[in-house]
Amino acid sequence: MKKTGNKFASVCGVAIFFWGTMAVAAEAQPQQSGASSVQLQPSLATGLDYERARWHPLHFKPAIDTATNEQCLSCHQEVLEPSVKAQSPAGVKAADSLAWYQTLEVYAGEQETFHRRHLATPLAQRVMDLKCNFCHQGNSLREEAPIPPTNTTKEAGFTLRKMVDPQETCLRCHGTHPYEIMGLPGPWEENRESLGNSCTSACHVAIRTSRHQVNYLKADEIEKAGQENNDTCYGCHGGRQWYRISYAYPRHAWPGMPDTAPDWAKDRPTESDPRFRLDTPVAASAKDSTTSTEPAKSEPAKSGDAKP
């Protein structure tokens, strides 16, 4: 009797274990589908299995420099699929959540992943022309670190534990608004009313008028969007500030430029990175139609240093 009881308990235990496992698996399924579908399927582009595809030369320099979005997204399409949960485990609804930077008038739409916010949302498609290799310049699968170490993060293209170099990518639009060097009386958010709540109607109609002349931005569209709503300008120049410093935008020469640079501009480059220049063949060859086909148009410098 005792033996039978033990057997019954064992059977029940096993059944409960499998039921629990299946329940957990079923619960986890929706969240896992995006990532695991990529991991389990052979690479569409290369015909390689997942482990071999991870070491494909396209993931490393120099091939990654000319990788197109089609090539990257043939395996990583899931980054463009909506995957934010409708609500958190504690019941916080995504639709009811609002971060401080999401109160900008130009911030629209549902909660999205950062990949979709940079590649797929209407504002991103209107003002940016980002390529996968704008951020992703290489990685190290084994150590998440450049091996051997390089003297600068720019040489490696990525930093310890990151697949990107935030200082050369994110910081361009997620740095502080350098109101001090711009000669403003205080932070923009505190002075915007007294400055007419417009960047382009007062100051930037005359100074630094040749802006955003790089292949990852749509300069003309940015100008239009900035005229329509000042939050477009502020959004990338302080309104979505993650970092405590500003990006050191290149300081292009302009007619009548003084011979001596102010202290804050002394170490700044005088030209954009070659891979972002509008006339660079590498940049042109990396263009594709996955996110957008419209190139940023160059315009002659009028005055002031271009940003970036």
Partner 1 sequence: MAENATATKDLSKIKEAVKRRKREVYKPVVPDLQLGFVHNNVDCIGCRACEIACKDKNGLPAGPRFRRVQYIEGGTYPEVFAYKVNMSCNHCAEPACLPTCPTGAIWKRKENGVVDIDSTLCIGCRRCEAACPFGAPQFDPSDGLVKKCNLCVDELQSGRKPYCVMACMMRVLDIGPIDKIRDGTFETKAVGPGETTVRAIKNMANPELTNPSIAFVPHSKGKLGA
Nearer to partner 1 by C-beta: 192 or 302? Answer: 192
Return the residue of 46, 121, 125, 167 that touches partner 1, per CB under 8 A: 167
Which of 35, 141, 202, 282 is the binder for partner 1 (CB under 8 A)?
35
* 100 forms part of the interface with partner 1 (CB under 8 A): yes
Task: Rule CB under 8 A: choose which of 245, 253, 261, 282 binds partner 1.
Answer: 245
* Cβ atoms within 10 Å, residue 156: 21
Say if residue 206 is exposed, middle or buried (CB neighbours under 10 Å; 0-12, 13-18, 19+).
exposed
Q: Is 158 helix (H, G, I), strand (E, B) or coil?
A: coil
Phi, psi of 110 (to 5 degrees): -75, 175
The stretch near partner 1 (CB under 8 A) out of 30-38, 45-53, 265-273, 288-296 is 30-38
191 binding partner 1? (CB under 8 A): no
User: CA 210 from chain center: how many Å?
Assistant: 24
**DSSP result, 244-275:** SS---------TT--SSPPGGGTT--SS--GG
Count, residues in the chain: 308
165 scored as a contact of partner 1 (CB under 8 A):
yes
Is residue 87 close enough to count as binding partner 1 by CB under 8 A? Answer: yes
Distance CA 196, CA 202 (A): 8
What is the three-class DSSP state of 93?
Answer: strand
| CB closer to partner 1 out of 179 and 210 | 179
- Cβ proximity to partner 1: between 128 and 170 the closer is 170
Residue 274 makes CB contacts below 8 A (sequence gap 6+) with: 280, 282
Phi, psi for 21 (deg, rounded to 5): -60, -45
CA 47 to chain centroid: 28
Asked if 92 interacts with partner 1 (CB under 8 A), we say: yes
Question: Does 114 participate in binding partner 1 (rule CB under 8 A)?
Answer: yes
Q: Among 13, 57, 187, 274, which residue sits at the site for partner 1 (rule: CB under 8 A)? A: 187
Going by C-beta distance under 8 Å and a sequence separation of 6 or more, which residues neighbour residue 142?
none
CB 271 → partner 1: shortest distance, Å? 21
Q: Considering only residues 5, 47, 62, 148, which one is a binding residue for partner 1 as defined by CB under 8 A?
A: 148
Least CB distance to partner 1 at residue 291 (A): 17
> Which residues in this chain contact partner 1 in the complex, by CB under 8 A?
28, 30-32, 35-36, 83-90, 92, 94, 97-103, 111-114, 117, 143-151, 153, 156, 159-162, 165-167, 170-171, 174, 187, 189, 238, 241-245
